[in-house]
Amino acid sequence: MNPTRSAQLRRAAAALALCLAAPALAAVQERGQIPDRYRWNLADLFPSTPAWAEAERALERRLPGLGAHRGHLGDSAAALLAGLDAVFGFERDLQRVSVYASSLSDEDTRAAGPREMKQAADLLQTRFAAATSYLRPELQALGARRVRAFLSREPRLAPYRFFVEDALRWKPHTRSPAEERIAAEAGVLEDAGAAAYGILKDADLPYPTVRLSTGEEVRLDNAAFTLHRASRVRADRERVFRAFFGAFAGYERTMGATLYAQVQAHLFDARVHRFGSALEAALFPGDLPPEVYRQLLRDVRRSLPALHRYLKLRQRMLGVSQLEYQDLYVPLVPEARLSYTPEQARAVTLEALAPLGKGYVEALRAGFESRWTDYLPSPGKRTGAYSTGVYGVHPYQLLNFNGTYEDLSTLAHESGHSMHTWLADAAQPFPTSEYPLFVAEVASTLNENLLVHHLLERAGDDGTRLFLLGASLESLRTTLFRQALLAEFELRVHEQVEQGETLTGEGLSALYLKLLREYYGHDQGICRVDELFGVEWAYVPHLYYGFYVYQYATSMVASTALARAIRAEAARGGTSRRDRYLEMLRAGGSRYPLDLLAAAGVDLRSSAPFDAAIDEMNATMDEMERILAARRGRVR
């Protein structure tokens, strides 16, 4: 996973002042106690679960009819159109059924009924994939010349052109129709590891309770961990980290087994489709060369001195003799106690995104007002945050909002995803509405960039300014360096299994600890990483997605360059870079990702955008050090 325009500086300053004074949100409530205004409105998908059940049964009845087009796509252009209309029409309706079921289940992962609905939708997805597995092989068998003749002869095939051309590109990695059907049928097993992990982590894991220095007892589920790891009391951070990751360590072996199962599923798919590696298989759908992934890891490794400079600055500002891994999330500046209600966070987000234009801002405002977003944590609710969408309806976004600056940033982030979905759906036909994963995090991280610069422009004191600059550095640390670390871990894990090695929870923790210590300069004394925190990999659900996390880093590289250009141009009253960016969002999946970004003005085939992001990181540290030096001078 934007904006609402308010150009008045006074309003922005007032919003910031409100945030500084706003109280933190109350303790976690049961879902039934949460007001509707803080809950998404799934009735826009289906008015009730019986209505959903009827739609699911209707899809079940339609499913066998998809096979009627098998062997007839080449009869004529009209026959090809009929077959594609049937397949994509079914997929569009299935999307609504699937999103409703998964969203309802995410409201309370403990509830059996919604979980069964989600499983039914997942099974229908698998059966749909099997029933349409003939599509790509049959198009390839017809041959490019014949298929392209159909495309030129029948204008109504235009929405399917990109899909058809992409299907032809897949020919070296497509098996016979019978083999593709077997592979598709096996899809029901593909996410078994991720499903078991999700239930264990979100519903069954016995999260520990700790007593903080205030005397408060806190149950450390994922949302509470995110909140309390930022405590200004170092002893509390120590308690929180040790208790939380100690709970994961107790299930290290089980979670190792679930991740191993997921990696095996990735390798099965890669081997079935004749890819040289799981990495190659994961990148091929976006027409991305594996070199893009490996180049990112090289760029990050050679830029570790910038990370280490930041860690030394953090140590100095916190006033600790030895920086510890559990010191990384505490705000650098105690004076800036930014907290927000959801309403305040929405207002600030809309103001910050004004450089993207009034149309963008007003569309997001309307989304906020029509309950796109599920804000507050509750027992059993899926952890983390995400945005999803349903073509012809609107996006939905899930948060676990505690009222911190990080939660404000998450709202801006997920709103970027939602507006990307909204713009692409409005501009594209369904077959090209879904944007590639490689650009998925550009819109979200660009919004974060605009947010922090918006607040910096309005910060009235050094404490708030230092806090925001520190938050910007943290965003670069977690999105560039932490995600690259996870990407390197993920690559090594897959390569181990490809070489015939097995995975155990203990081995995964040892590998992760090694990378943590290399990245964070443990042996150089820059940041000490306790052995217990090697189990942190078990906390990261994205490792089950199959080479997803690296795209956070590449997207931030791209979005940093784009945001800088948009901000600079907006200051001069121009809009051309903004307009090119918005056109990229509207393009959805009508082009491959590197081409989409190039059209917006960023070339990720080179290291130049990455180096520009590191330049911004160093410039941020330069400004912080100037403020700190001036403060020291005033004290003297």
Catalytic sites, residue numbers: 414
Q: How far apart are CA 532 and CA 102, in angstroms?
A: 33
Helix (H, G, I), strand (E, B) or coil at 110: coil
Planar angle of CA 574, 577, 579, nearest 5 degrees: 90
Dump the DSSP string for 523-592: TTTSSB--GGGGGGGGG-GGGGSSS-THHHHHHHHHHHHHHHHHHHHHHTT--HHHHHHHHHHHTTTSS-
Burial zone of 235 (CB within 10 Å; 0-12 exposed, 13-18 middle, 19+ buried):
exposed
b/e map 56-67, b = 16+ CB within 10 Å? beebeebbeebe
Closest CA to 266 of 183, 180, 198, 199: 183
What is the DSSP-derived secondary structure letter of residue 414?
H
The β-bridge relationship of strands 373-374 and 395-398 is parallel
Burial zone of 575 (CB within 10 Å; 0-12 exposed, 13-18 middle, 19+ buried):
middle
Q: In the β-sheet with 373-374, what is the strand arrangement from edge to edge?
A: 373-374, 395-398, 386-389
473, 310 Cβ separation under 8 angstroms: yes
Question: What is the token pair recorded at 344?
Answer: 């305040």
Q: How far apart are CA 74 and CA 183, in angstroms?
A: 24
Residue 217: its H or E element: strand 217-219
